[in-house]
Amino acid sequence: MTNKDLKEIKKIKRSTNNSTKSTKTSTKKSTNLSKKKINIEEVEEKVKDIIIHEDKTVEKETEEPIKSEKSKFGIFEYVLTLVIISLIFSLLGYFIGFKNNKNDNYLTANSELRKFIEEYNYILETYYGDIDESELIANALKGMLSSIDKYSGFIDENSNNNSISLKGEYEGLGIGVINDNENNIFISLIYENSPASKSGLEVGDLVLKLNDEDFTNSTTSKLVDRIDELGEIKLTVKRDDEELVFNLKKETIIIKSVAYELLENNIGYIQVGLFAENTDEQFEEALTNLEKQGMESLIIDLRGNVGGHLSSVKNMISLFLNDTHIIYQTEDENGIEKIYSTGNKDKEYPIVILQDLSSASASEVMASALKEQLGAYIIGNNSYGKGTVQTVRQFEGIGDYKLTTMKWLTSNGLWIDGVGVKPDLEVSLSQEYYKNPIRKNDSQFQAAFEYLKDIKH
């Protein structure tokens, strides 16, 4: 068979396909009939116009959700355009003088832009089956984010635990649940002043039913999802071989991220679990109460705290420093910005900070600021070493993702990424603590307590 014969056969196939496409049906979300090719010239002109004439495009995109454009492009063309914009900015990062040489950088990236659109159109035209364009674009964006760094990427829409924790509150019953090895669901935590605590539910109760739906041999995620869908709830549990029924109604639950107490020798202790939106308020209340009780020195426990909101930690550090002190610094393509305390006086009592290998990000901001600016003493292990800041961005129709937008430096200008904040006194937890995690076996806490006790004497 000659090349000429092959060409004729391909023409016949295309003709046949075109004549039969109109009768083809599908139950999938998107069919070949709905595939929208992207006009390269239109996209290039739109992107070029944005790059040349909109100096603050990136800044605006991090502040506002993306809106659908209803004029020139359809939703898929517009979404793809934004994906391409993200790709271009990533590519342009490799070239010097982005802001001063926008036209040159655009021309440099133009060939990569063409390749991307050509491959997109090729996939839509030639794939044998049906394609969901929005899913295709979402996966393209996921691929770009995954190639940047380990902190950038889509936020799992099936799990809102992280966003709930960072917000510091949620609508629910005020319980925590766990699965055992046999998929039984037990109540593991009950928040104070929650519907669960008011009803009489107890830690250790075995969940049997939710609104008469059987939840034996089930998963905690399924239970949580069902609770999220409902308003009023009838929960059947088993306690000491007795079945109990509780009628509950969801309320706003405030997550406690701060715990505190006054110890012997007037040593205050504040544990911070994470830096949620409302952690600064809880921390200020704890600090105020301890000072009213006559606190003379303070232990701040940041062990296991993986970070959170910079605005929250800034407010907390400002409780200790006046406004002449730098708290931390940020660095991006625009240069370095120094962030100052908003407080009105320096605290004069000794402070010890407890940290471990999991203390990261905002925890490291707090530890380094109080160490460098107030002389706080750090005990424990080297911290995690996360020196970058992520911005959460909403991509309409696809979901939320995190993008690393800058790096942060300590108040003295040190970048601790991959290095961490080093303790003044290295102390590791003993095996006795892991076997029996009580304060008496907590060697790091005991070291902090003894240090402050010795200073007083």
Does residue 335 carry a pLDDT above 60?
yes
Of 67-76, 146-155, 196-205, the least confident: 67-76
The residue ranges of DSSP E strands in 76-195, in sequence order, are 153-154, 169-172, 175-179, 185-190
Condensed to tens digits (0 to 9), the pLDDT of residues 81-90 reads: 555 555 555 5
Which carries the bigger pLDDT value, residue 137 or residue 278? Answer: 278
Task: Measure the CA–CA gap between 424 and 444, rounded to whole angstroms.
Answer: 12
Range picked from 38-42, 155-159, 315-319, 401-405 for highest mean pLDDT: 315-319
Quickly state the pLDDT bin for 320 (edges 50, 70, 90): very high
Is residue 102 over pLDDT 60? no
On the question of pLDDT at 359 being above 50, the answer is: yes
Pinpoint the alpha helices (H) of 246-303.
279-292
Q: Can you give the pLDDT at residue 343?
A: 97
Percentage of the residues of the chain whose pLDDT score is greater than 90: 41
Residues 6+ apart with CB under 8 A from 152: 145, 146, 390, 401, 402, 403, 404
DSSP-based three-state secondary structure for 121: helix
Determine the average pLDDT of the residues in 372-397. Answer: 88
Least reliable range by pLDDT among 144-158, 201-215, 245-259, 321-335? 144-158
Cβ atoms of 396 and 67 closer than 8 Å: yes
Measured CA to CA, the distance from residue 133 to residue 127 in angstroms comes to 12
- Counting beta carbons within 10 angstroms of the beta carbon of residue 388, is it exposed (0 to 12), middle (13 to 18) or buried (19 or more)? middle
Which H or E run contains 245? strand 242-249
pLDDT classification of 110: cutoffs 50, 70, 90: low
Assign 61 a pLDDT band (cuts: 50, 70, 90).
very low
Q: What is the CA radius of gyration of the chain?
A: 28
- Residue 363: CB atoms within 10 A of its CB come to 29
pLDDT at 95 over 60: no
What does the CA dihedral 266, 272, 276, 281 come to, rounded to 10 degrees? Answer: 0
d(CA 168, CA 445) in angstroms, rounded, equals 26
Q: Which residue has the tokens 């076997």?
A: 435
Q: Residue 221 has what DSSP assignment?
A: H
Mean pLDDT over 173-182 rounds to 84
Please write the tens of the pLDDT for every residue from 184-222: 899 987 888 889 999 999 988 999 999 989 999 888 878
Three-state secondary-structure class, residue 318? coil
Sequence-separated (6 or more) residues with CB below 8 Å from residue 279: 168, 257, 258, 272, 308, 309, 312, 316
β-pairing, 351-355 with 297-301? parallel
Residue showing tokens 């999991």: 358
Cα 403–Cα 330–Cα 298 angle in degrees, nearest 5: 105
Structure tokens at 196: 């669960």
pLDDT of residue 88: 53
The pLDDT of residue 76 is above 60: no
Kindly state the average pLDDT of the residues 330-352: 95
Summarize the confidence of residues 332-348 as an average pLDDT.
Answer: 95
- Residue 262 or 142, more confident: 262
**Quick one: tokens of 417?**
């990424």
Separation between Cα atoms, residue 120 and residue 250, nearest integer Å:
46
- B/e letters for 199-215, b = 16+ CB within 10 Å, e = fewer, are bebeeebbbbbbeeeeb
Output the pLDDT for position 92: 47
422 pLDDT above the threshold of 70: yes
- Residue 29 CA neighbour count, 13 Å, CB half: 6
* pTM for the model: 0.65
DSSP conformational letter for 71: S
Q: How far apart are CA 186 and CA 191, in angstroms?
A: 15
**Are residues 284 and 270 in contact, defined by beta-carbon separation less than 8 angstroms?**
no
CB of 24 closer than 8 Å to CB of 33: yes
Question: Please, is 4 exposed, middle or buried when counting C-beta atoms within 10 Å of its C-beta (0-12, 13-18, 19+)?
Answer: exposed
Which of 140, 113, 115 minimizes the C-alpha distance to 44?
A: 113
The confidence score (pLDDT) of residue 260 equals 96
Percent above pLDDT 70 for the chain: 72
Give the C-alpha separation, 24 to 12, whole Å.
18
Residue ranges of domains in the chain, CATH in brackets: 29-147 (no CATH), 169-254 (2.30.42.10), 258-456 (3.90.226.10)
The two structure tokens encoding residue 377: 């003493």
Q: What integer is the mean pLDDT of 351-378?
A: 96
DSSP helix/strand/coil, 160: coil
- Name the average pLDDT for the chain: 78
